[in-house]
Structure formats: C-alpha cells, structure tokens
Structure 1
C-alpha cells in the first residue's frame, strides 16, 4: 500500500513465495488506513475466488490489523469495508492476520509503485510483473529491505 496516494496493492503467493496473483488499486485521494482496508478486501476476495483455503494476511497498518483481528467495526466507509472483510474471512479454513513492517513486505510496495500510473479502478496481474521475482523470494525468507 502506498501511504501517500490512496493506492492499494497486494500480491498473493504460496508458502514458498511463488506468485499466484496480484493487483493494484487506485481509489483516489484517501487515507493510508482506508487504502489498507480497500486492499485487504480486494485481496481477500481474490484469494477466495482462487479457492485458497489457508491464508496469512500480512498488513503494514497496525490499526487495520488490530481491528480485523478483534472484529471491531469502524465508522462510515470503514465500517462497510470492515463488514465485507469480516464476511470474506469466513470463506477460509484458516486465515491468520499479521502486522508486518513495510520493510518486510517489499512485494506490496513494488506493486504499489506499479500502481502509481494507473487510472482509478483495479488492475489484476495474473502473471508476475517483471522484476518482482527476487523481491518475492526475499519476502518469503524474511529479508528486510530499507525503504526510501
């Protein structure tokens, strides 16, 4: 998720860091919290559509991760997104929600950089974008990268 632009993104990988699918979203001017919720909802829907049964959801927004873990409703549009997220969580046998530092989830930042030039809406990436392979591998083994 890009913290300044209202753009959200994610990649879905298997336990070995191999690409399954990804997306980037431009939701217009929104807070980083709202972009995180939009990205979470879209990622959960995509994972459900892919019939993934066991999921680890890594989020770099501590507040969003805590609200989802506690099943705590928000206000306004956040409450609608959280309600959708709570409903989607039921489609998985196991779904673990984890807070992660941005530096440990470089694939999401890579996807967000791709999303910088997207028009409003969602773009799906069934194939991995060029250049993400080594980033996915680094994320899967826990490599931290300094973010600029």
Structure 2
C-alpha cells in the first residue's frame, strides 16, 4: 500500500489537474480541469461536455482544453497531471498520421510546444480528486467548455483535503502500465 495525495507544484509553477469521463466506452463524455498555485489555491478551472467519446478520448480533450485555459489565464510554467497514463503516453509517443486521435494529439503537442514550460505527468486518481469530480459533473453540461472562475461548492471539501495533505491508500505495482 502506498499513501497517495495531491502534489502541489514547486514555487513559481502552477499545477493543472485534468480528467476526462465517459459514461460508456464510447458514451456521453466530459472533461474537467483545475489550476492551482503552490499552496493549493484555486486559480481557475472548467467543465466541458464533449459529446460521445471513449474514456481515453475524453482524457485527451481534458488535457487539450486544460492547456488552452491555462494559457488563456497567463500561466507559463505549468505542471499538468492526468490520471490517464495511456493519454500521457499517447502524447509523448509519435504515431502514424492515420491514428484515430492523430489530429487531437498534434493539437496538444503544438499547444504544449508554445512559448512556455509544460511538464506532463501521470498521477493516480487519489491525487486527482478535484479534476475527477469536475469531469464527472461535466457529463450533464451541454457541448462546449464552461470556464469556472470560482470552485463549485462540491469541490471545496476536496480542495481543503488537498491543501491539508490528506492521503489515501492505494495498491501500487512497480512499473505498472495501468490507466487508473
């Protein structure tokens, strides 16, 4: 068992947590993001209805929209964490131009390659609870992104847990290729 918690960014960085959700595979899908400072303070976020999609496609849309909003908010030193190891791997590896997600993967690579520092990383769901909550609640939103200037009331206790460093136990297998 390993204790997992939200990991704050280093001083000078912002932490972006993203998550995608699909009610079916494929099925109605959505995405969510939270941007936080080193103390865990809410800097922004979104929920987005993305139509019908697979779980991994919802994760990729969450990352893309997350980069878009973070850029718009003016943050230029960014650690982006997703609980989809598969989505992170797809972004980091090169694929055939006929790959079903090639266009979106290229958009993500182009956006993250702009004039800023972006570090993509995997986190477990226990360290991504705010984005997970946002993505699940995005399933009731119409198509499109809704920027959140303030946190929804439902995520406030999760934000407080993260700030206090609350941990959750998880079985972690070394060198696991799990997508959480």
Query: For the superposition of Structure 1 and Structure 2, which TM-score range results when normalised by the shorter chain?
Result: 0.7 to 0.9
Unaligned runs of 5+ in 1: none
RMSD: 2.1
Unaligned runs of 5+ in 2: 1-19, 171-180
Q: Hey, which of these two has a bigger chunk of strand by percent?
A: 2
Deviation of 1:133 after TM superposition, in Å, equals: 2.6
Deviation of 1:69 after TM superposition, in Å, equals: 2.9
TM-score normalized with structure 1 length: 0.85
**Superposed structure 1 runs of 4+ greater than 4 Å apart:** none
Pairing of 1:1-148 with structure 2 (within 5 A): 1-4=20-23, 5-70=28-93, 72-73=94-95, 75-76=99-100, 78-91=101-114, 93-139=116-162, 141=165, 143-144=167-168
Q: Hey, which of these two has a bigger chunk of helix by percent?
A: 1
Q: Secondary structure at the match of 2:131?
A: helix
Number of equivalent positions: 144
TM-score normalized with structure 2 length: 0.71
Report the more deviating stretch, 2-11 or 96-105: 2-11
Residues 113 and 33 of structure 1, relative CA distance in 2, 3 Å threshold:
closer
The answer as to whether partners of 1:65 and 1:99 remain within 8 angstroms in 2 is yes
